[in-house]
Chain A
Amino acid sequence: MDKRTTPIAKIFLIAVFLILYVPIFFLIYYSFNSGGTMSHFKGFTLDWYRQLFGDTRMFIIVLNTLVIALLSSLSATVIGVFGALAIYSYKRRAKNTLLSFNNVLIVSPDVIIGASFLILFTMAGIQLGFMSVLLSHIAFSIPIVVLLVLPKLNEMRPSLIDAARDLGASNWHVLSKVVLPFISPGILAGFFMALTYSLDDFAVTFFVTGNGFTTLSVEIYSLARRGISLHINALSAVLFLFTIVLVIVYYFISRRSSMKTMGVRK
């Protein structure tokens, strides 16, 4: 393929990048505005950050969000890896059926997931709050983990398992010494993806949460409905930084674990 980029292509790409990033930096920029609006930059201040970090209610909400994200992505990773192993071990028809079930929650709009889970929890008598939010997040993260682990399993040549058994490995050894290490990049990707899905989720949480339990997204929604408050800008700057850190952490962990497996795909 010819690798030259024409000027038009360059301008187009720059425009797309600008549109994608300007709103984010716009938010961060005004988080330093002492004016209190997002229209006139009066002067530099860190007041909004001070206010944000002094806000214990916000602190609890951030904690809630992180706890839910970590617990749900960990549980979803475990169940998802089991699911991927199960799907992998089945042949065509059973495999396709399982995959279809797996994809239902992936293509379902958030509203449907939220509404149907709301019915489910109400019927099951589960109090709306921490538990219902946690269960929902686990539920919608599982299929993502499966989808990220499965390609790794498929990439693994069957002869690798034969080789391990040939060298005396029991079922447990095959799983722990060969299969899990081999698919670990997929597991890691699945875990991080589940983490971001959980951190980002608004709609499902909005439906299944009850009084007294709020996550960041839901909190921002209710703040934003009330109008502009540079408090949120400061929060967005912190979250953006957090996202970048998460990406970098993921990048380094995955590079370390994939260095060994890269290059043997052929």
Chain B
Amino acid sequence: MENAVIIQFNHVTKQYQNDPAVLKDVSFEIERGKFYTLLGPSGCGKTTILRLIAGFTEATTGDIFIDGKKVNTIPANRRQVNTVFQDYALFPHLNVFENVAFGLRIKKMKQAQIEAKVKEALSFVNLKGYENREISGMSGGQRQRVAIARAIVNEPEVILLDEPLSALDLKLRTQMQYELRELQKRLGITFIFVTHDQEEALAMSDEIFVLNEGKIQQSGTPIDIYDEPINRFVADFIGESNIVPGIMIEDFLVEFVGKRFDCVDQGMNTNEPVEVVIRPEDLEITTREQGKLQVTVHSLLFRGVHYELSCTDEDGNEWLVHSTKKAAIGDEIGLYFDPESIHVMRLGESEEDFDRRLEAYTEEDHHAK
């Protein structure tokens, strides 16, 4: 049986000369056939990871394995991975057919076979009949597809995509998100997708790695990461969040804004200082009396599907509320939320500790049942 792990990073650090390291002791595994996203702000190291996998740069320390083989010093032209570049990097002196055929020609494949494969790859990306077009005469979306065809025609085990949608307009981007996801499912190979767009990451991925400052902050399914962000950075970067300081009084009881609330978090020390996250869409507008929190509305934006209210509580914390209900500026309103909506984050908790704690109490739940 094939090993499920296709790519493995073992304590990889990357540093350019005397600059601070762009990747700091990063370890992870990537499994076959899944859609992975490396998500983070610019300069977080996500593109560096991609370039390390592709073989455009070498790791300063640590080992990289592809398909169980150590590839640290294997150059890019001898690795079984292909890249779709941010600027597509299509060869301007070659037409569509020759661009896609580039890798096959280097492998000295027979002309008939090349023609068949290029045709197939182009039809995969819905570009049938575009073989003889010049690159300069194609739109951004079409170039994007050529770039993808050029990568998949080589039948790599992994395709690396470096912010490939960033140059497209919103509508096309959404459409390409669907197409990419579908393509990955049809081909059944691993996609590693780099983006700084959290919506894109949430929509497309099986697994997301959130990166910041050269470290993986959190990895998991989109739902895990959205619902259980490990720290302030992840909570802030993925979706919109209200984050306030609090104290974990005991299991299932947290205090913030001077009040105590029931919650579902546990496994922390008593009276431990924590941060509390509540997503804006989990806050409901009610009357002052019925609300768990009392706030004053000070601005209101219409966002299409909902209103976005910005409110302040008596401690001066700001609360963002997404609601279909409207309130007037200056209104004093109450905010209601379920215990499940409260998410408590420990300060400086590592991903391993976080996972261990979560596992510990999901096991307890099992025992309880």
Touching in the complex, A and B, CB below 8 A? Answer: yes
Interface positions of A (Cβ within 8 A of B): 157, 159-160, 162-170, 173, 177-178, 181-182, 184, 259-264
Apart from the given pairs A166-B54, A173-B77, A263-B137, 16 other A-B contacts in the complex at a CB distance below 8 Å: A160-B89, A160-B91, A162-B56, A163-B89, A164-B91, A165-B55, A166-B82, A167-B77, A168-B107, A168-B154, A177-B106, A178-B91, A182-B92, A260-B136, A264-B92, A264-B135
Point out which of A168, A170, A263 has the most chain B C-beta atoms below 10 A from its C-beta.
A168
Interface residues of B in 82-119 (CB under 8 A from A): 82-83, 85-87, 89-95, 102-103, 106-107
**0/1 interface trace, chain B 291-309, chain A, CB 8 Å (1 if under):** 0000000000000000000
**0/1 interface trace, chain B 149-173, chain A, CB 8 Å (1 if under):** 0100010000000000000000000
Q: Decide if A169 touches B54 in the complex (CB within 8 Å).
A: no
A162 to B52, CA, bound (A): 12
| Chain A residue contacts of B244, Cβ below 8 A | none
Q: Decide if A166 touches B92 in the complex (CB within 8 Å).
A: no
A63 to B227, CA, bound (A): 83
Which of A157, A168, A170 is the one whose CB lies under 8 Å from B89?
A157
Query: Given contacts A167-B106, A170-B77, A264-B135, is CB(A162)–CB(B83) below 8 Å?
Result: yes
How many residues of chain B are within 8 Å of chain A by beta carbon?
A: 30
Q: Decide if B76 touches A162 in the complex (CB within 8 Å).
A: yes
Q: Decide if A166 touches B77 in the complex (CB within 8 Å).
A: yes
A76 to B311, CA, bound (A): 72
Q: Decide if B103 touches A167 in the complex (CB within 8 Å).
A: yes
Q: Decide if B136 touches A165 in the complex (CB within 8 Å).
A: no
A37 to B81, CA, bound (A): 77
Q: Decide if B89 touches A159 in the complex (CB within 8 Å).
A: yes
* Interface: B75 (CB within 8 A): yes
30 of the cross-chain contacts (CB-CB < 8 Å) are A157-B89, A159-B85, A159-B89, A162-B54, A162-B56, A163-B83, A163-B85, A163-B90, A164-B91, A164-B102, A165-B55, A167-B77, A167-B82, A167-B103, A167-B154, A168-B77, A168-B78, A168-B106, A168-B107, A169-B102, A170-B106, A173-B77, A177-B102, A177-B106, A181-B94, A260-B134, A261-B136, A262-B136, A263-B137, A264-B135
CB of A197, distance to nearest CB on chain B (Å)? 27
Of chain B, the residue at the smallest CB distance from A182 is B93
| Chain B residue contacts of A178, Cβ below 8 A | 91
Interface positions of B (Cβ within 8 A of A): 54-56, 75-78, 81-83, 85-87, 89-95, 102-103, 106-107, 134-137, 150, 154
| Chain A residue contacts of B93, Cβ below 8 A | 181-182, 184, 260-261
Q: Decide if B82 touches A263 in the complex (CB within 8 Å).
A: no
| Chain A residue contacts of B102, Cβ below 8 A | 164, 167, 169, 177
Which of B89, B92, B107 is the one whose CB lies under 8 Å from A162?
B89
| Chain B residue contacts of A264, Cβ below 8 A | 90, 92, 135-136
Q: Decide if A173 touches B136 in the complex (CB within 8 Å).
A: no
A91 to B94, CA, bound (A): 29
| Chain B residue contacts of A181, Cβ below 8 A | 91, 93-94
Of chain B, the residue at the smallest CB distance from A173 is B106
Point out which of A160, A163, A260 has the most chain B C-beta atoms below 10 A from its C-beta.
A163
Of chain B, the residue at the smallest CB distance from A261 is B92
| Chain B residue contacts of A168, Cβ below 8 A | 77-78, 103, 106-107, 154
A5 to B86, CA, bound (A): 43
A178 to B94, CA, bound (A): 9
Of chain B, the residue at the smallest CB distance from A178 is B91
A162 to B299, CA, bound (A): 49
A163 to B93, CA, bound (A): 14
Q: Decide if A165 touches B85 in the complex (CB within 8 Å).
A: no
| Chain A residue contacts of B89, Cβ below 8 A | 157, 159-160, 162-163
| Chain A residue contacts of B55, Cβ below 8 A | 165-166
Q: Decide if B87 touches A159 in the complex (CB within 8 Å).
A: yes
| Chain B residue contacts of A261, Cβ below 8 A | 92-93, 136
Point out which of A157, A159, A182, A263 has the most chain B C-beta atoms below 10 A from its C-beta.
A159
A169 to B154, CA, bound (A): 13
| Chain A residue contacts of B106, Cβ below 8 A | 167-170, 173, 177
Of all A-B residue pairs in the complex, the 4 with the closest CB atoms, nearest first, are A263-B136, A167-B103, A163-B89, A159-B89
| Chain A residue contacts of B90, Cβ below 8 A | 163, 264
CB of A66, distance to nearest CB on chain B (Å)? 31
A181 to B85, CA, bound (A): 20
CB of A58, distance to nearest CB on chain B (Å)? 43
| Chain A residue contacts of B83, Cβ below 8 A | 162-163, 166
| Chain A residue contacts of B87, Cβ below 8 A | 157, 159
Q: Decide if B76 touches A166 in the complex (CB within 8 Å).
A: yes
| Chain A residue contacts of B91, Cβ below 8 A | 160, 163-164, 178, 181-182
Of chain B, the residue at the smallest CB distance from A161 is B89
| Chain B residue contacts of A173, Cβ below 8 A | 77, 106
CB of A112, distance to nearest CB on chain B (Å)? 40
A184 to B102, CA, bound (A): 19
A98 to B128, CA, bound (A): 48
